[in-house]
Structure 1
Amino acid sequence: MIEIVFLVEDDPDGGYNARALGESIFTQADNIEILREMVRDAVHCHFPDEQTRPKVIRLHIVREEVIAS
């Protein structure tokens, strides 16, 4: 695997949730900088062997906005 993609969404209680697409990896953090570290750590834990670990981690950040009409 060359790349792993995480879907990043705002947490209703504050902060962010990140879920890997196609893998059972989930993490969360209070801000985006810490989330990046948490995602990297989660990937390293899920793929302990460096040979099989994805070389690229992509964060797909989704933000939902509601506006009055």
Structure 2
Amino acid sequence: MKQTIIFEISQEEDGGFVAECLTEDIFTQGDTWEELKMNINEAVKGFYFDRPFYPNVKLHLVKDEMLVIQ
């Protein structure tokens, strides 16, 4: 069975995204969601460069939002 790694993703105030793997020392960022996915792909390939296969990757977007109840 193939390993699955999870990236916790948060959106910065400027609109960009930051991704941190919860089980490995892999971090990356991107200005857009598509750029972030490409950067995660490259970061995972770089981290696992010496292995015969790459793990599955799950993206978990964490969104902090203030809701004012009136």
Larger radius of gyration: 2
Alignment correspondent of 1:66: 66
**Distance (whole Å) between structure 2 residues aligned to residue 57 and residue 50 of structure 1:** 16
Q: Any gaps of 5 or more consecutive residues in structure 2?
A: none
Superposition misfits of 4+ residues, deviation over 6 angstroms: none
- Deviation for aligned residue 1:62: 1.0
My pick for the range that moved more, 58-67 or 35-44, is: 58-67
Letter in 1 for 2:61: I
What's the % identity of the aligned pairs? 34
TM-score normalized by structure 1?
0.86
Summarize the alignment of residues 1-69 of structure 1 with structure 2, pairs less than 5 Å apart: 2-54=3-55, 56-69=56-69
RMSD: 1.5
Q: Any gaps of 5 or more consecutive residues in structure 1?
A: none
